[in-house]
Amino acid sequence: MFNKKPKIKIKKSPRLVKDLVFEGVNGMSDILPREQEWRRMIWQTGQAISELHDFYFIETPLLENSNLFTSVANDPVDFEKKLYTLKTGEGEKLALRFDAHTPILRSYLENRLAYFASPLKVYHTGPFFRHIKMKPGFSRQFHVWGFEVVGETDSIYDGEIILAIFDFLRALKIKNLILKINTSGCRVCRPAFKQKLKNYYRDRKDELCKDCERNLDTNPLTLVRCEESVCRALREKSPIVLDYLCQNCNNHLKAVLELVEDNGIGYEPDPYLFPENDSSSRTVFEIFAPPFELPVASGCRYDYLAEKVCDRAVPAVGGALGLERVVEAMKRQEIVPHAKLKPKIFFVVIGDQAKKFALKLMNQLRSSGVAVIEVVGKKTLKAQLKIAERMNISLALILGQKEVYEGTVIIRDMISSVQETVVTDRLVEEVKKRIH
């Protein structure tokens, strides 16, 4: 007899945890199930406000030709660094959607939407992407709900954009809203103001941050918005646009402020508030919701943008709420969204044979407007009923092998523990009696 060799147990080296962990892209966040009540409240409010103000829905693709965005930039080479771009096999260079104004103008002209409505009033919602340096309150992917009016210069539409956003925020119960507003002038009066800014900052060029030093000649309006401490100190004595406005811009600003005042909205003039793009004109605004420090909404008029897109003059004005910032502002103000959901029932399924028939019954209930929850992975009756109790569900349906053969279902009142057996043909009717 041969001696058996002892079995040697080989311990498998554990896999490193880091090999199993996948991290998202820096600056891009998941919208998690636990946040659904906030998002649902915002979406429902946005839909209602958009319809009340008579805005049509528009959605542009997430991908556009990259030159659509670079063609409107003050410095196309530097601006392209902020785009997320990709090249196709056909040699196309595409970019993820950077802003809403440019694609909407592209769609307006390409699809001749002026024939659909004049002016065109549209709302939009969705994600945007910017390859930027990360800092608190800013993201590389963010979501907005925006309003645009295309094809009209009248100041009443500047006012309507502001009012629509205010109605939106008020409907969300956000309090203590602050409107900061300014004008960036027009092509008649802005050149003189920009030249004054250049002259002022050139004499202090050595004191500027690197970004402002680079933007001094291409877009001096951005210098007065810089938040670096050295630049903030310099702007206190910088020229103010109000001193250089032409009569038309002065009248336009006055009309917008009157519209705001007439509708009970207080405002703070902010002479240092300017849009990022030089294609903008006149009205520019931001809305704050203390104690959250960053603006929850912003907007501007952009009458010159279409000329850069396709050499056509198309006046337009728009504004948008940053949804991530709106949620944060609501949390800071301790505003809790209240879900207005229909009563739900819990469907208990016991045994493999009952699963197939249960799905049919659940579908019948859902088709009649009854929300149903099931956790068929838990095999025992006790385990499933415990889940129903934790979810504070008042009505449960129990289906096992016996009930399948008999064509019945047990209805259990989770509060009193009283049970009643009903035939499946009357299930929908009996459930509705108990939840309505």
CA 138, chain centre distance (Å):
13
Task: Tell me the pLDDT band of 180, cut-offs 50, 70 and 90.
Answer: very high
Name the more confident of 17 and 120: 120
How are beta strands 141-150 and 63-65 bridged, if at all?
unpaired
Long-range contacts of residues 386-389, Cβ cutoff 8 Å, at least 24 apart: 387/346, 388/346, 388/348, 388/414, 389/414
Structure tokens of 344? 């739900």
In whole angstroms, give the CA distance from residue 291 to residue 174: 11
Query: In order of start, what are the domains of the chain with their CATH numbers?
Result: 33-189+245-332 (3.30.930.10), 344-435 (3.40.50.800)
User: Mean pLDDT over all residues of the chain?
Assistant: 87
**Residue 382 to residues 53, 94, 402: CA-CA distances in angstroms?**
52, 56, 17
In whole angstroms, give the CA distance from residue 270 to residue 257: 13
pLDDT at 2 over 50: no
In whole angstroms, give the CA distance from residue 317 to residue 162: 10
Structure tokens of 360? 């049919």
Task: Tell me the pLDDT band of 358, cut-offs 50, 70 and 90.
Answer: confident
Task: Calculate the dihedral angle through the C-alpha atoms of 246, 249, 252, 258, rounding to the nearest 10 degrees.
Answer: -80
**Residue 31 to residues 40, 70, 331, 337, 409: CA-CA distances in angstroms?**
12, 30, 16, 16, 38
Name the more confident of 146 and 351: 146
Mean pLDDT for the stretch of residues 148-166? 95
In whole angstroms, give the CA distance from residue 280 to residue 273: 12
How are beta strands 85-87 and 344-349 bridged, if at all?
unpaired
In whole angstroms, give the CA distance from residue 254 to residue 248: 10
The percent of residues in the chain predicted with pLDDT above 90, rounded, is 49
pTM: 0.83
Phi–psi pair at 274, nearest 5 degrees:
-140, 150
In whole angstroms, give the CA distance from residue 265 to residue 111: 36
In whole angstroms, give the CA distance from residue 46 to residue 323: 11
pLDDT at 11 over 50: no
pLDDT of residue 213: 86
- Going by C-alpha positions, the residue among 274, 268, 256 that lies closest to residue 220 is 274
